[in-house]
Amino acid sequence: MSLRPLFVLLIGGLLMSDNAAANCAPALDFEYRRLAGDETVRLCDAYQGKVILVVNTASKCGFTGQYEALESLHETYGDRGLVVLGFPSNDFGNQEPGTEEQIQSFCRLTYSVKFPMFEKTHVKKGLADPFFDYLAQQTGAYPKWNFYKYLIDRDGNVVDYYTSVTSPKSGKVVSAIESLL
C-alpha cells in the first residue's frame, strides 16, 4: 500500500480542521468545562448555527427565580434552535459561594434546569474571563449584577443584551429571540 493516500487523507483532515476553526464565529471561539464535570465544550462546535442566550447566574440572588423563565425559554424554543447557556458567577454580593456540585444540585432540584451550565466564571469588568470581555466589547456593557443576558444570532453576532431587571420572558426578549429563529 502506498503512503500517498494516507498522507493526503491526513493533510486533508488537517485542512478541514483549520477551515472549521476559521469558520468559527469569534463570539463562540471559547472553551468551557461543563458545570461540576470534566467535559470541555468548545462553544463553536456545540452551538454554532443556533440562537444563544448567555446568562451569568447566581443561586442566592433576588433574580434567581429567573432560572424558571430561562428553562421555559429553553424548553419552548429549543426545537427551533435556541440554546440558553448559564455561567454561574460569584462576582456580585457573594451570591454564588457554593461548589459547582452544590450549584448544579440547586439548579436541578429547585428549578429543574436542563439547559447547559458551565464552570463558575468571572464576569465583572476588570475580572471578566475572555468570553465575557468579548460580550462586553460587542455590547458596551459588562454585567453589573447577576442574570445579565446576552443574545447571539445564528451567525455568531452578539445582537443585544438585557440587564438583570429584564425578565427572560419579557416581550422584549421573547420578540428578539423569535425574530432570530
Residues with a catalytic annotation lie at 61
SS3 content of the chain, % helix, strand, coil (to 5): 40, 20, 40
Helices 100-111, 66-77: crossing angle, 10 deg rounding: 70
Is there a contact between 107 and 117 (Cβ–Cβ < 8 Å)?
A: yes
- Distances in Å between the Cα of 27 and the Cα atoms of 114, 147, 177 are 23, 19, 17
Tell which phi-psi region holds residue 112, choosing left (phi > 0), alpha (psi between -120 and 50) or beta: left
Task: Give the CA-trace dihedral at 22, 25, 30, 32, to 10 degrees.
Answer: -120
- CA nearest to 115, candidates 89, 62, 77: 77
Phi and psi at residue 119, to the nearest 5°? -55, 155
